[in-house]
Structure 1
């Protein structure tokens, strides 16, 4: 949906046509759910947070000034709603160590992934993103799958674009560790089959 189309439906809702909000929900519900699932790692909670996000968006729609894209504003509401849920649940995040070993194998993992069929590669990456801590998966999803700019992500999560860049770098390193752990056994098995 374009910025103009978003604004048209926002104006319709603000003028009292609450049915127009359904179109906005339909446009962004899958994305909000995906982002919530990446952060919360629980389908039911992601569904609840998605609903809460749209309730908050509806109630505060008049506060949207159009300084950013509507999608960026929704992502920010979703992100903050997820953070509230995480704080409420007091969950422990899984920590992935980054060491020299990880950095050394980032390139070999990239080479191995390039040999996979594109669809398998995408599924493998998305599967491994689920093992990342909440924020890391959220940032990688926004940047790589939703193609949000550093500035847009900065606006969503409330940190500087440079800090987003650093966090993305660290998230990629953590992802490389997970990819190595999960994909290396498959690669070894593949090469052993090829030798026979």
Structure 2
């Protein structure tokens, strides 16, 4: 079994077939990051493709001075920021699609599925209202299960800043979720 470093070296030497492994290994994490910036499933899918193309085009520049995932997240973050700049008007008027979610249980009952979809929709709606500086670290921490240090490296921030942003983001998210009257969802479990 090849190590990640061996795969990257083979890709850098022109063995492009190895890139499929990179795609399979990282596409869901990249999608989650892209979704954190776009808050739209279809836009996030398109952006994920753009990011993977950018990684493919620039993988020869990876020197191994940081971990591959850190380098990949930097490329992804920069591509997301560029995309946001180009599509600012489009994002400001985006309504969330009720598309498939990446984080669903395997074969839930119809009732569980409906409850989970409603919960996810409310959560994503509330996340979409948060400023980007809180939304993206929250999604990276909770959905990708990255550490403060990994998030900091990916976003170019000190770990303490990430901790502060996560704390403030959770607080804002909690306020948004608990502020709806008549909402009987158990949000405190999530927060």
TM-score scaled by structure 1?
A: 0.70
Q: Distance in 2 between matches of 1:151 and 1:48?
A: 28
Aligned position for 1:55: 53
Aligned position for 1:156: 154
Q: Distance in 2 between matches of 1:135 and 1:26?
A: 28
1:40 to 38, 41, 48: 38
Q: Deviations over 1:121-140 (max 9, x none)?
A: 98464564344333322101
Q: How many residues align?
A: 162
Q: Secondary structure of the residue that 2:16 maps to in structure 1?
A: coil
Q: Distance in 1 between matches of 2:146 and 2:65?
A: 16
Aligned position for 1:185: 182
Cα 1:42–1:187 shift into 2, 3 Å: closer
Tell me, yes or no, if the aligned pair for 1:49 and 1:78 is still in contact at 8 Å. no
Aligned position for 1:100: none
* Structure with greater helix share of residues: 1
Q: How does 1:95-134 map to 2 (within 5 A)?
A: 120=116, 123=120, 125=123, 128-134=126-132
Q: Distance in 1 between matches of 2:172 and 2:134?
A: 8
Cα 1:43–1:187 shift into 2, 3 Å: closer
Q: Distance in 1 between matches of 2:27 and 2:119?
A: 21
Q: Distance in 2 between matches of 1:126 and 1:86?
A: 18
Tell me, yes or no, if the aligned pair for 1:29 and 1:50 is still in contact at 8 Å. yes
Once the two structures are TM-superposed, the CA of residue 54 in structure 1 deviates from its matched residue by 1.2
Once the two structures are TM-superposed, the CA of residue 24 in structure 1 deviates from its matched residue by 0.5
Aligned position for 1:147: 145
Question: Gaps (5+ residues) in structure 1?
Answer: 95-116, 189-196
Question: Gaps (5+ residues) in structure 2?
Answer: 94-111, 186-191
Tell me, yes or no, if the aligned pair for 2:32 and 2:140 is still in contact at 8 Å. no
Q: Distance in 1 between matches of 2:170 and 2:52?
A: 30
- Let me know the Cα RMSD of the aligned residues: 2.9
Aligned position for 1:30: 28
Q: Which has the larger radius of gyration?
A: 1
